[in-house]
A and B are shown apart, each in its own frame.
Chain A
């Protein structure tokens, strides 16, 4: 297990050092500094073995966090723990910086004592931790017996991420479906590869211990219902507002630890008691039937040896009522470009010599529209026999729908002990699709 945990500043000075195991000596602190932080070359691996001692490190801005061990530990767990440690610190005092760490070193030691015991990670959910470790010192002496046992049962309980007794006057929740769509297309318009990686982020402000059920247009679920013939009344509480009829095939998804995985595995239903506030409910990946919001049609013609004519048409491919934003098309130009003349119908286009590209920006564009840019590129004559490699044309944009086709069908909230029902909860759903690596070869 983890033998010790050190935090250094960019100079390699120790800010925090906590040793959990007897086999880790003080010299381990120096070994990491000398061999990794002060090493001359770039870091070649996040895991370093120095004299039979292994160091795992992550960096946040210019702060180094290093976990050290002499055993064959679960490496994935150590890194997950280091990330978690960063999250916890951020939740307590904001940005991880030298100043903040020094200002909160007593708190950090308290946290380290609590979330890592003999090198074994313990409950590290900030929701639970904040009930008894605070920046004003530890609560404890003032608590009543009930409060104390409530704290311990939460820290060790099955729902360690949420404390009891949360109350809101208004029960409200926000769901954000955030997707990034990636594409590589051939000049002829053939899709070489495309995938969407998405996240469902939830902000919940709900009283008590609400039991939630989340439904989306997952193909497996829809098909099952279709076969069974029993139409679920879930359709009525459709939140997506879209046509929502087609279903999508999800390649893989992962869930926050609040989701009951065995239930998902057996029934494919997503049920959970959410943490309070903002968290990431799920991540997913799809590769089939992706709605590509934009199509790029390039046309490059070489006129003699000193001139290129480029014409690029972009077509928006979604409902006319929707608006795409922050559109940017990047057309690479050869290294020996001497001058560029551009004409575009919409937006602004500029040749950026330092980036070897024409950058065309459009603020907004509705669906089912098309726009075009033409450019004449003057080239300097060169002796280089090698032809220009023609890097792909890339695009950036943001659209108000999910390119995967994912629709939230419902999010039902049940809280049996308190007197509010699913209908009383105010729910908000938002879809944002952004470009990941969105390229068309030319």
Chain B
């Protein structure tokens, strides 16, 4: 192969293009001027050369848009090569010169009539790439002809062009009836035309989640399955990806589709194989497990998955990320294939890390000896991340396969003996987990661990070691000395270590009260007096009081039995897993995140068909709420409903799921009101319990590792880059945003003399909680701190409460507390209710207040007109609510301006019979869009607002904000 390539390379010498690279080197001054002259030359060759130079400049990023008229002049040519170059230029610059782009229209229209099909196709292909409104109008007629062209090459190109046009002007495509023509192409005699039509339709359907555009019925399915056998590898991928959206009527149909898709598993193109796997994994859900065919299918899936591992490394990576999902969903498929996941010396690091993940998932009693031998090998490799992961994996094996625990522990001890710093630290972290899983079994190794105390410099390892010392304080003679040594630098430690140290010393005190009284006092005073961290301090107080009032109770609480840790710690949450299975082969499966987490705009949540059919699996996903906050944790059950509420993509699984229940959505909403009413008390006790269980990091020990997402994805993005991308994002923030007057939230009567009044306001994109804190007591107040209970939109303080100086009697202070919306979420009643705890040196006080929902309206809440139209139509009518605003005397423009200051954007205005209709949109911090229609009739002080939103629960609050803003 290589020789052959070299030979070709030599052959090239005889070609005529040896000199093309010279175009890259022109950097003279006055270049544009020269090019202009050359473009207008009479000689064809010279013209062509000049256009090449222009394209080369364009490639390297130079602005050659000034040459637009000259280049377009070259378009009228019968030289196809020159024509292609000019087209390439047009595609790049037409948008910046729309008026001049019109000059090109004639040639396009003419070319669409050319006798040569290659030219017809070229013209229609290029025209679709020119995103200028005026041109698109001219495009319709030629496109209509090309869709019915006699030549399949033209038809297949025209099919894709419909998708292009739809991207520019969706309405136009609908009005012109192109969608129907496109649907007809699914029955075309040429397989490639079918494939492209399927691709185009699937893409268009994605932006109309509820339309029945991709009308998948048994007849269409049959056509697609037939075309599948005949089209190119790429076409097969389009068709398979489309098939995956179909929901078979019954298990018989499901089986027959599976039978026709399985041959694809032998295709040399890995993407075809993965897409086929996706279809099979999905339709398999419909098959009864006792069916013979079900077993056959399971067996058929393993070999192609294994074969994917002999592809190029990048594809191996994609395959491994997918296998990780498949193994979680159906472990039986690959349970005998452990060996193929053994790491090879030459694998790139990203392949190694993924293989390791899958090895852990497949580890079982049957293969544990082999796995351990391998892992031990890996722990001596060079790459630090890989070694760390291998060490963690050994710990995971111990926890997963009890019989192997002893061997794992001794392997870990061997590794600790190597004294390689990061190996030691990683080993200690996992040994802590092993202690949790098998209490009173391996404590003999503690001495060895203690020897390495000094070398630990990572917080997680330090915290783990401290936990071990605290937990087994009675067995370690010098436990007090060890812990004391950490105490010296208490303030420099990370929070994780501080929390752990505080708890460990309390444990030590409870176990050996006589010698350690001084130590415990020291740590508690460090925690309570000198710390700004509310967790550290509050729990410090609790311990202190417990110890001073009721040591027996303290013992019961602090030394309580810990819950067992589970075997599989980093499993993907089941609903997310189901969704990801529907996205096998795609980016979502690579990132292990739902598409909504990384794709702009709305997407549908895909679900597996018919699995169990429980109400729970019908409800749209809970996960995106979490994903929006970039939290990959498992969300508590009541969060499910909350997820619905907060989720922007609140579409019922209309085309993907099983037969859609029209009432499914409302059902969810009903539940929403019933559930989620956790009492404040119940919530407060939770963190306490969590701490007693050891460290907060404990359960997550391994799960917290970035295993669930590829490293690149979680890598912090530099701010500058974000800017580079989001040019349109930074809309100027109007100043006078609406700010309701302050109200008293916490009267002095109820709070031992502390009075708080306040309000919320949004300034420059930041939500501020403005408070006036007044001391009406007789003594000085200090040590203020604030905490929020979980709330509907995850509001949380973005920093500590800044009350720096002590507050003397009868003094007041104005504080402004910036808030963010990344806190934990829980549905509140009413929705905008916020429960706050405020603490000072006297006591902790609780109050609740309501914030105007307008503070959550973000600056980029202006929807595009077309999107607005589509969305408005798209949202079901039952999600619409109407409100009256009485006694308002503004004209529509003033109203519009006023609302704009609160990020309610007017998108369009229409006047019908003297009545002004304003169409407005706003977007909440969690991505919920609210669409509004405001009717203002001249002379009538009563306005009508109609609100449409996929989460109708917010409507009431939004209305209140409307009223408040308008009447302000």
Contact = CB atoms under 8 A, between A and B. Distances in A.
B9 A95 contact: yes
A336 interface: no
A378 B725 CA distance: 64
Contact of A31 (B24, B710, B725): B725
A214 interface: no
Contacts of A155: 153, 192
Given A103-B18, A151-B118, A255 B267 contact: yes
B196 interface: yes
B20 A158 contact: no
Interface in B203-246: 203, 229-234, 237-238, 241
Interface string A86-105: 00001101110001101111
Main SS of chain B's interface residues?
helix
Given A91-B8, A110-B84, A70 B237 contact: no
Interface string B572-607: 000000000001011111110001001110010000
B392 interface: no
A141 B9 contact: no
Contacts of B157: 117
A76 B315 contact: yes
Nearest to A261: B263
A58 B275 CA distance: 21
Contact of A152 (B152, B260, B600): B152
Contact of A27 (B161, B344, B713, B724): B724
Interface string B337-377: 00100001000111000000000000000000000000000
Contacts of B163: 118
A19 B262 CA distance: 35
B819 to A, nearest CB: 24
Contacts of B262: 265
Contact of B266 (A1, A253, A278): A253
Interface residues of A, number: 115
B600 A138 contact: no
A123 interface: yes
B230 A83 contact: no
Interface string B311-350: 0111101110000000000000000000100001000111
B16 A80 contact: no
A77 B234 contact: yes
B20 A103 contact: yes
Interface residues of B, number: 124
B556 interface: no
Q: Give the interface SS of chain A, mostly helix, strand, loop or mixed.
A: mixed
Contacts of A333: none
A34 B725 CA distance: 13
A95 B21 CA distance: 16
Contact of B8 (A93, A153, A157): A93
Given A47-B587, A252-B304, A278-B4, A76 B599 contact: no
Interface stretch (B51-59, B67-75, B441-449): B51-59
Nearest to A120: B199
Contacts of B230: 158
Contacts of B161: 118
Nearest to A136: B16
B278 to A, nearest CB: 9
Contacts of A148: 116-118
A259 B79 CA distance: 38
A383 interface: no
B21 to A, nearest CB: 3
A180 B359 CA distance: 25
A169 interface: no
A93 B585 contact: no
Given A27-B724, A51-B717, A94-B8, A44 B152 contact: no
B670 to A, nearest CB: 32
Interface in A111-163: 113, 117-118, 120-125, 132, 135-138, 140-141, 143, 145, 148-149, 151-153, 155-158, 160
A253 to B, nearest CB: 6
A354 interface: no
A152 B156 CA distance: 11
Given A75-B318, A285-B306, A254 B273 contact: yes
Contact of A17 (B59, B190, B229, B599): B59
B193 interface: yes
9 contacts: A31-B724, A76-B319, A77-B234, A79-B312, A93-B8, A94-B8, A121-B234, A138-B118, A254-B304
Given A105-B20, A156-B152, 11 more contacts: A44-B350, A106-B85, A118-B129, A123-B234, A152-B117, A156-B156, A156-B190, A158-B191, A252-B306, A261-B264, A265-B266
Interface of B: 1, 4-6, 8-12, 15-21, 23-24, 52, 55-56, 59-61, 78-81, 84-85, 87-88, 92, 115-119, 121, 125, 128-129, 131, 151-154, 156-157, 160-161, 163-164, 167, 190-193, 196, 199, 203, 229-234, 237-238, 241, 260, 262-264, 266-271, 273-275, 303-304, 306-307, 310, 312-315, 317-319, 339, 344, 348-350, 583, 585-591, 595, 598-600, 603, 710-713, 717, 721-722, 724-727
